[in-house]
C-alpha cells in the first residue's frame, strides 16, 4: 500500500480494540527494504497512546521506538498510563529536523518568542505540571511497579474469566493491561446482554463489534488502570458469574417472549436482524436525519 505519495506509515502500539502491540520492528525492516528498492524515504509514526507508557516499563527489550531508524515521531497519552487526569497527550519527534518549521506558529506579543504546534492556543498548564510531578514522584521504578501491578491484575481477571469456561480471551498477555473477551456460545445471550446487566452491579463494561473483516466477533473489554485492584478484579469475576447465572435462569420469560416475537416475524416474512444490521440501520437513520437538517434551511441543526 506504500507508494511515492505516502507521507508516513502509522503503527499502533496498543490497539484500542484489544490492546495488541503491532510489530513496529518488522514494519521498520520491511520499510527499510522498500525504501532501498525505490529510493523513497517513507518514515514511521507510532501511535503509542496506550502502549507508550507500558512498553518501556514492562517490555524494555521490545524495539518499537527511536531505536528503529525509520521511527520519526511518537504520540502518547498522558491521561492514560501516563497517570494524569484527562486532557493531556504528548508527541515527540526524533529530531528537530523532523518537525518542519512551517508547522510551528510563532508569536512574540507576550514579550518573547513563543513557538506552538497545538491547534488551540490558551490552555492551563496544570496538566503539564501534573505530568511532571508524576514523572518525578514515581520515577522509572514507580511507573514500572504500577504497570506490573496493572498487568498482574489483568492476569487475575483473565484467569477468573477462563475458569468459568464460557469465554474466549481475545487479548494477548503482552500488550496494554486489558482483557478483551467474548462468549464461546452467544446464542442464548450475547455480550451486549452481559454489558447491560453488569450495569446493575455498577460496572460499565463496553461491548462492541470488531472492525471490518472481523465484525462477526463481539467483545467485552476491561482496561486495567492503576486503581483497579486485585480485589476489584476478583469481585468483577464474581459479578460476571452472577450475571451469567441470572441470564441463564431469570430471563427465560424474556427469551421465550423474544422467541415468540421471532416466530411472528418469520411468519410475516421478516428475518431477525443481527446486532450489526441493527447498528447499521441506526447509523443510516441518523445520517439521513442530520443531512435533512443540514439541507433544510429553516431548521437549526
Ligand X SMILES: *Cc1c(COP(=O)(O)O)cnc(C)c1O
Q: Which residues bind ligand X (CB under 6 A)?
A: 12, 14, 16, 47, 49-50, 77, 89
Q: Which is nearer to ligand X, 224 or 240 (CB)?
A: 224
Q: Which is nearer to ligand X, 14 or 160 (CB)?
A: 14
In whole angstroms, give the CA distance from residue 165 to residue 179: 15
Q: At what angle do helices 230-249 and 126-164 cross, to 10 degrees?
A: 50
Q: Which is nearer to ligand X, 112 or 212 (CB)?
A: 212
Beta strand 89-93 with 114-116 is unpaired
Backbone phi, then psi, for 92, in 5-degree steps?
-125, 145
Q: Which is nearer to ligand X, 160 or 175 (CB)?
A: 175
Question: Closest distance between ligand X and the C-beta of residue 178, in Å?
Answer: 10
Q: Which is nearer to ligand X, 208 or 243 (CB)?
A: 208
Question: Closest distance between ligand X and the C-beta of residue 215, in Å?
Answer: 19
CB 33 within 8 A of CB 190: no
Residue at grid coordinates 431469570: 250
CB 92 within 8 A of CB 73: yes
Closest CA to 168 of 18, 277, 23, 13: 18
Question: Closest distance between ligand X and the C-beta of residue 48, in Å?
Answer: 8
Question: Closest distance between ligand X and the C-beta of residue 184, in Å?
Answer: 27
Question: Closest distance between ligand X and the C-beta of residue 60, in Å?
Answer: 21
Amino acid at each position: 500500500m506504500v507508494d511515492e505519495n505516502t507521507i508516513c506509515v502509522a503503527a499502533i502500539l496498543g490497539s484500542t480494540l484489544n490492546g495488541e502491540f503491532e510489530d513496529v520492528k518488522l514494519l521498520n525492516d520491511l520499510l527499510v527494504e522498500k525504501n532501498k528498492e525505490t529510493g523513497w524515504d517513507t518514515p514511521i509514526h507510532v501511535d503509542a497512546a496506550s502502549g507508550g507508557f507500558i512498553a518501556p516499563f514492562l517490555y524494555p527489550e521490545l524495539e518499537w521506538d527511536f531505536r528503529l531508524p525509520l521511527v520519526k515521531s511518537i504520540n502518547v497519552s498522558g491521561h492514560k498510563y501516563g497517570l494524569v487526569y484527562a486532557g493531556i497527550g504528548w508527541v515527540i519527534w526524533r529530531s528537530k529536523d523532523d518537525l518542519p518549521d512551517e508547522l510551528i506558529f510563532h508569536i512574540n506579543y507576550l514579550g518573547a518568542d513563543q513557538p506552538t504546534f497545538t491547534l488551540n492556543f490558551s490552555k492551563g498548564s496544570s496538566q503539564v505540571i501534573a505530568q511532571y510531578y508524576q514523572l518525578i514522584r514515581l520515577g522509572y521504578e514507580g511507573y514500572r511497579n504500577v504497570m506490573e501491578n496493572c498487568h498482574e491484575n489483568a492476569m487475575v481477571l483473565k484467569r477468573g474469566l477462563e475458569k468459568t469456561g464460557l469465554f474466549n480471551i481475545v487479548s494477548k498477555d503482552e500488550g496494554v493491561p486489558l482483557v478483551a473477551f467474548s462468549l464461546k456460545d452467544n446464542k442464548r445471550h450475547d455480550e451486549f446482554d452481559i454489558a447491560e446487566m453488569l450495569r446493575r452491579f455498577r460496572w460499565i463494561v463496553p461491548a462492541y463489534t470488531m472492525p471490518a473483516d472481523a465484525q462477526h466477533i463481539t467483545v467485552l473489554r476491561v482496561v486495567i488502570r492503576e486503581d483497579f485492584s486485585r480485589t476489584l478484579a476478583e469481585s468483577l469475576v464474581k459479578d460476571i458469574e452472577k450475571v451469567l447465572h441470572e441470564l441463564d435462569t431469570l430471563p427465560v420469560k424474556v427469551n421465550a417472549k423474544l422467541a415468540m416475537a421471532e416466530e411472528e416475524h418469520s411468519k410475516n416474512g421478516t428475518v431477525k436482524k443481527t446486532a450489526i444490521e441493527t447498528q447499521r440501520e441506526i447509523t443510516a437513520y441518523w445520517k439521513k436525519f442530520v443531512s435533512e437538517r443540514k439541507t433544510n434551511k429553516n431548521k437549526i441543526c
